[in-house]
């Protein structure tokens, strides 16, 4: 039986991963942890939860001991755009927090899942079909924390035998919790604006191709990797995973298939534009497919149809 702690459980991914893991392993076996208690009445409040700060090692250790935790999902981070505004905090959470989790895992023999990102690549990385093993010289603080995290996790596996695993997620698209300040957030915001106002002002320029993935696939990827046969994993902490690649124009045209009067204009945010320009257009995820059977279910048409339906239901606004 697994006893799981999710750090950063109230975020875009954590809020859904916690519920999925509770369904799989039992509500009492999955503890949600974040800086604040979950809002009363929220799904996260239905199970065990702890207020904890990843930058304070002692609090993680205490929660792990109290709940006999054997697996930690470390989702705490400042996403790329926010991290550029608060680089010191981004380092503290992303790197010092990661180090704290690994030290606690070493002492208590926990397994650790940590997402890396397309943000771990940089302007000198090959942009198309970005290889699994390639140049990683990111120019954002977010990317610097992600590469450092990948390396630290590799080190703790090799040096201390900690069962560390991780994925390089692309932009994640979902309808439950809004994204927390990244460069790919536009691919979520566009659905809310389309349904509320039938138009969207896009902060990324035409031609800004980025990898993306629907939340259902992102959750499966994390769980499948953590359940994979360790003997088959050659790239433990840094699997490229992707499900689709598009630029804003392609996404807008897909939405127009369901909502012909939808209109998109551009007001480009120079910070996000500069970040996106250094990230891959599309990644090669063949290592994940070969080593643990990665196989996403949602491509652009399925994701778009489902997002329109779910966001419209959530907002109580019909879109057809």
Catalytic (active-site) positions: 142
Q: How many Å apart are CA 257 and CA 190, to the nearest integer?
A: 14
Q: What is the 3-class SS of 37-65, one letter each residue? A: CCCCCCHHHHCCEEECCCCCHHHHHHHHH
> Is residue 14 within the footprint of ligand NAD (CB under 6 A)?
yes
Place of tokens 């603080």: 141
> Is residue 13 within the footprint of ligand NAD (CB under 6 A)?
yes
Quick one: 27 or 250, whose CB is closer to ligand AKB?
Answer: 250
> Is residue 184 within the footprint of ligand NAD (CB under 6 A)?
yes
Q: 118 with 170: CB under 8 angstroms?
A: yes
Q: Name which of ligand AKB, ligand NAD, none residue 77 binds, using a CB cut-off of 5 to 8 Å depending on partner kind.
A: ligand NAD
Least separation in angstroms between CB 145 and ligand NAD: 8
Q: What are φ and ψ of residue 123, in 5° steps?
A: -65, -20
> Is residue 237 within the footprint of ligand AKB (CB under 6 A)?
no
Q: Which of residues 180, 196, 223, 306 is near ligand NAD by CB under 6 A?
A: 180
Least separation in angstroms between CB 201 and ligand NAD: 20
Q: What is the 3-class SS of 71-97, one letter each residue? A: EEEECCCCCHHHHHHCHHHHHHHHHHH
Quick one: 54 or 233, whose CB is closer to ligand NAD?
Answer: 54
Task: Restricting to residues 24-63, name those near ligand AKB by CB under 6 A.
Answer: none
Q: Name which of ligand NAD, ligand AKB, none residue 10 binds, using a CB cut-off of 5 to 8 Å depending on partner kind.
A: ligand NAD
Distant-in-sequence contacts of 195-199, Cβ < 8 A, 24+ apart: 195/308, 195/311, 195/312, 195/315, 195/317, 195/319, 196/315, 196/317, 198/259, 198/261, 198/262, 198/263, 199/262, 199/263, 199/264, 199/265
Q: Which of residues 38, 47, 48, 115 is near ligand NAD by CB under 6 A?
A: 115
For residue 121, the SS3 value is coil
Give the number of residues in contact with ligand NAD, rule: CB under 6 A.
28
Q: Name which of ligand NAD, ligand AKB, none residue 80 binds, using a CB cut-off of 5 to 8 Å depending on partner kind.
A: ligand AKB
> Is residue 60 within the footprint of ligand NAD (CB under 6 A)?
no
Structure tokens at 126: 């090959």
Question: What is the contact mask toward ligand AKB in residues 92 to 131, using x (rule: CB under 6 A)?
Answer: -------------------------xxx------------
Q: Name which of ligand AKB, ligand NAD, none residue 180 binds, using a CB cut-off of 5 to 8 Å depending on partner kind.
A: ligand NAD
Give me the residues paired with residue 199 across strands: 263
For residue 280, the SS3 value is coil
Binding site for ligand AKB (CB under 6 A): 79-80, 117-119, 142, 170-171, 182-184
């Amino acid at each position: 039986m697994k006893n799981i702690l999710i750090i950063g459980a109230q975020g875009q991914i954590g809020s859904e991963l916690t519920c999925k893991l509770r369904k799989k392993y039992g509500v009492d076996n999955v503890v949600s942890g974040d800086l604040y208690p979950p809002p009363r009445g929220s799904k996260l409040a239905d199970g065990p939860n702890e207020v904890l700060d990843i930058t304070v090692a002692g609090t993680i250790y205490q929660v792990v001991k109290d709940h006999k935790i054997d697996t930690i999902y470390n989702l705490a981070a400042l996403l790329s755009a926010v991290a550029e505004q608060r680089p010191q905090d981004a380092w503290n959470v992303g790197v010092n927090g990661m180090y704290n989790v690994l030290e606690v895992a070493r002492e208590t023999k926990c397994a650790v899942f940590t997402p890396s990102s397309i943000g771990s690549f940089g302007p000198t990385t090959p942009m198309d079909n970005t290889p699994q093993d390639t140049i990683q010289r990111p120019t954002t603080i977010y990317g610097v924390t992600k590469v450092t995290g990948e390396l630290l996790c590799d080190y703790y596996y090799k040096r201390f035998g900690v069962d560390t695993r991780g994925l390089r997620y692309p932009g994640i698209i979902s309808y439950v919790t809004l994204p927390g300040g990244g460069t790919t957030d536009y691919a979520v915001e566009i659905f809310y604006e389309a349904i509320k106002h039938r138009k969207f002002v896009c902060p990324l320029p035409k031609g800004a191709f980025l990898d993306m993935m629907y939340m259902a696939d992102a959750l499966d990827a994390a769980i499948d990797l953590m359940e994979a046969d360790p003997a088959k994993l050659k790239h433990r902490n840094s699997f490229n995973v992707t499900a689709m690649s598009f630029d804003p124009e392609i996404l807008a045209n897909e939405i127009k298939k369901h909502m012909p009067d939808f209109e998109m204009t551009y007001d480009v945010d120079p910070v996000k534009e500069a970040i996106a320009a250094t990230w891959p257009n599309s990644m090669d995820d063949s290592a994940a497919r070969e080593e643990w059977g990665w196989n996403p279910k949602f491509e652009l048409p399925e994701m778009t149809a489902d997002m329109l339906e779910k966001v419209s239901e959530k907002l109580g606004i019909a879109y057809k």
